[in-house]
Structure 1
Amino acid sequence: MRHDSTSPARRNPFSLLKQSLLALALAGLAGAALAATPAVKTQPGYYRFSLGKFEITALSDGTLSLEPLKLLSGRTPELITQDLDAAHIKQPVDTSMNAYLINTGSKLVLIDTGGAATMGPNGNQLLQSLKNAGYAPAQIDEIYLTHLHGDHVGGLVSNGERNFPNAIVRADKADAAFWLDEATANAAPEGSKPFFKLAMDAINPYAKAGKFKPFETNAELVPGIRSVAQHGHTPGHNSYLVESEQQKLEVIGDMIHVGAVQFPHPEVVIGFDSDSKQAAADRRKAFDAAAKDGHLIAAAHLSFPGLGYINAEGTGYRWVPVNYALAK
């Protein structure tokens, strides 16, 4: 049975005349009310579209702040600043945290969960975005994690309790073996230990409930969704290839963080990469394929909704955001 989101509200039965009179009566009040209303950080949190027979919903968990001059390497700070200035991006960079819900008709599959309260004051929006999109956490059947960094797994839990009580959580065995291993965590540099704690705090409640099921590399997880190993960013980082009726979407996780720099200069790496050389090679391979094939890309850290296409340009690439359209 297909999972359906909340249906639109019915039209108000007022006559056109009554609506017009009401609008005129309220017009004078509206300007004063708007002027007195303080600015808030509420933003649209979902964007829905169709991929073949699948329904895809991009979900925002908000934004986090990154300092590219401290994190990026392979390009001088002066040139990085020039790249950002040319794109009208201020530093530090407000970086989106995006997740993606796939309704296959028989399963609701969520890819990544954002960072919840672990990633600063502008995050922790995923559950509200999911609700606004017409779904409840208890409806989610499976959750596929691109990797176990905190800004992708933090939304799994609140106060140690599972946010998605009926979901099976899945990740690459290599990532689980690394981030959930106590000995590896204890031997890690002090600056890296919080990464292990965030992963363990998020995954352990599901593991204890028998709902964490790691998978082998390059696995078909449900019909139409399979993992694609790209183990440079973390030891078990994956993209997910979603296909329906010959239409394709690749959810690429952390293959890119600062698009204004890394698209034209894909050799630039970030300090979060476990193996920076492999991460750069993964990016080249995936972006070459996307440019050649023309399939849609969904990226965790490109400006929400993080959807677009990759074109080859010079020695690098150009990002082409999707044209906005109401879901059909």
Structure 2
Amino acid sequence: MPQLSRRAFGTLPIGLIGGSLFGGGLISSSSAHGATQEAASAPAAVTPLAQIRLGRFTVTALTDGYADMPYDYFPGRSAPEVEAAASAQFTARPSGVRFLFNQYLVEDGERRILIDAGAAGSIGQTGQLPQALAALGLKPAQIDAVIVTHMHQDHMGGLVLGGKNQYPEAELYIDRRDVTHWTDPAKRNGAPDFLQTSFRMAEEVVRLYPRLQAIDGEREIAPGVSTVDLTGHTPGHIGVRIEDGGKSLIMVSDMIFPVVHPAATDVFFLFEQDRTAAKAMRDRFFPRAASEGALIAATHMPFPGLGRVVSDRGQMRWEVADWALQD
């Protein structure tokens, strides 16, 4: 198995700044009372956004929406065990564990890099990423690069919505192992039904994005933005590390799932393709992340998906990072 580079982790605690943008405008303290009265009288569309600063980078957490994953989608534990754990963490829903679909926009004043493109309505209540970008005053054509952490439909669906190239000016980066796997007819023919949408979308991505770069291993995409090998969940599952000015963040995609991680590395998700490799990667990753206090962003954790793995009396747990606005 590939070894996780030491560069995958930050060594210093990171100060966070951020906020929630509602309907495209920041709710200030002076307008909060009026907004509360309006919300009480009629439901309002909410576009949640949260920002942190890492040196010269602004990283904005966005979300494409959510879906509830059935309790029997977690091999390694019975459905009643997963439901009980979800209930204890107040994330249980009648139809399963609530999964968010978080994406992250990385800006340095010169380039805009989007990490993953969401499910775009192919799963659950998704398809909100364009609205989230619009709340920032951005259109997909203003994105310079998209890094796809792996080729599951909830990470690339937004690239090919409507059978069109939705990010026409963007360079696209995907690990070569995933490109090879998801465009292999033999792999598709032998795959279960729930993976067929991902195979179909992968073919559309390759067809619609002539600027696709199938990358090998860990690579610097732009100064301070690099990929990290997290293979296991899929053959070419990668993370993205952002670092500048002594601060860093690693976006770990599907390395961590809500309720079951990081407490147990022998619990998986139905879509996981190499459980042995996924467990081995988590067994290495979680203790190191805890020892170094790495700030982490995770696709499916509660919005904005920012937190740390901590060791609490020998038990690994997820500690939500404070992203509230700070001076």
TM class, shorter-length: 0.7 to 0.9
Give the equivalent residue in structure 1 for 2:116. 112
- Hey, what's the Cα distance between the residues in 1 that align with 2:190 and 2:323? 47
Give the equivalent residue in structure 1 for 2:199. 196
Q: From the superposition, tell whether residues 135 and 46 of structure 1 become closer, same or farther in structure 2 (CA, over 3 Å).
A: same
User: Does the 8 Å CA contact 1:160/1:202 hold for their aligned counterparts?
Assistant: no
Give the equivalent residue in structure 2 for 1:4. none
Give the equivalent residue in structure 1 for 2:170. 167
Give the equivalent residue in structure 2 for 1:295. 294
Superposed CA RMSD in Å reads 2.3
User: Does the 8 Å CA contact 1:146/1:239 hold for their aligned counterparts?
Assistant: yes
Deviations, residues 208-238 of structure 1 (Å, cap 9, x unaligned) = xx21111011112211111111211001000
How far is 1:86 from its partner?
1.1
Question: Which structure has more RCO (C-alpha within 8 Å, separation ≥ 6)?
Answer: 2
Give the equivalent residue in structure 2 for 1:240. 240
- Hey, what's the Cα distance between the residues in 2 that align with 1:326 and 1:136? 26
Q: From the superposition, tell whether residues 179 and 315 of structure 1 become closer, same or farther in structure 2 (CA, over 3 Å).
A: farther
Q: Which has the larger radius of gyration?
A: 1
Identity %: 33
- Hey, what's the Cα distance between the residues in 1 that align with 2:110 and 2:39? 44
Give the equivalent residue in structure 2 for 1:56. 59
User: Which is helix-richer, 1 or 2?
Assistant: 1
Give the equivalent residue in structure 2 for 1:224. 224
Deviations, residues 144-166 of structure 1 (Å, cap 9, x unaligned) = 01100000000112211111110
- Hey, what's the Cα distance between the residues in 2 that align with 1:268 and 1:88? 19
Give the equivalent residue in structure 2 for 1:78. 80
Q: Greater shift after overlay, 104-113 or 144-153? A: 104-113
Matched ranges for 1:1-328 at <5 A? 37=42, 39=43, 42-67=45-70, 69-91=71-93, 92-120=96-124, 122-206=125-209, 210-258=210-258, 260-326=259-325
- Hey, what's the Cα distance between the residues in 2 that align with 1:187 and 1:78? 30
Q: Secondary structure at the match of 2:213?
A: coil
User: Does the 8 Å CA contact 1:308/1:322 hold for their aligned counterparts?
Assistant: yes
User: Does the 8 Å CA contact 1:49/1:327 hold for their aligned counterparts?
Assistant: no
- Unmatched 5+ residue regions in structure 1? 1-7, 10-18
Q: State the number of aligned residues.
A: 295
- Hey, what's the Cα distance between the residues in 1 that align with 2:188 and 2:134? 35
- Hey, what's the Cα distance between the residues in 1 that align with 2:101 and 2:39? 29
Deviations, residues 238-288 of structure 1 (Å, cap 9, x unaligned) = 011111112110000111222x22222232111111111211121222222
- Hey, what's the Cα distance between the residues in 2 that align with 1:203 and 1:133? 28
Q: From the superposition, tell whether residues 327 and 137 of structure 1 become closer, same or farther in structure 2 (CA, over 3 Å).
A: farther
Q: From the superposition, tell whether residues 180 and 88 of structure 1 become closer, same or farther in structure 2 (CA, over 3 Å).
A: same
- Hey, what's the Cα distance between the residues in 1 that align with 2:98 and 2:84? 17
- Hey, what's the Cα distance between the residues in 1 that align with 2:313 and 2:79? 22
TM-score (normalizing by structure 1): 0.83
Q: Secondary structure at the match of 2:283?
A: helix
Give the equivalent residue in structure 2 for 1:3. none
Q: From the superposition, tell whether residues 261 and 34 of structure 1 become closer, same or farther in structure 2 (CA, over 3 Å).
A: closer
Deviation above 4 Å: which 4+ runs of structure 1?
A: 33-36
Q: Secondary structure at the match of 1:269?
A: coil
- Hey, what's the Cα distance between the residues in 2 that align with 1:287 and 1:257? 13
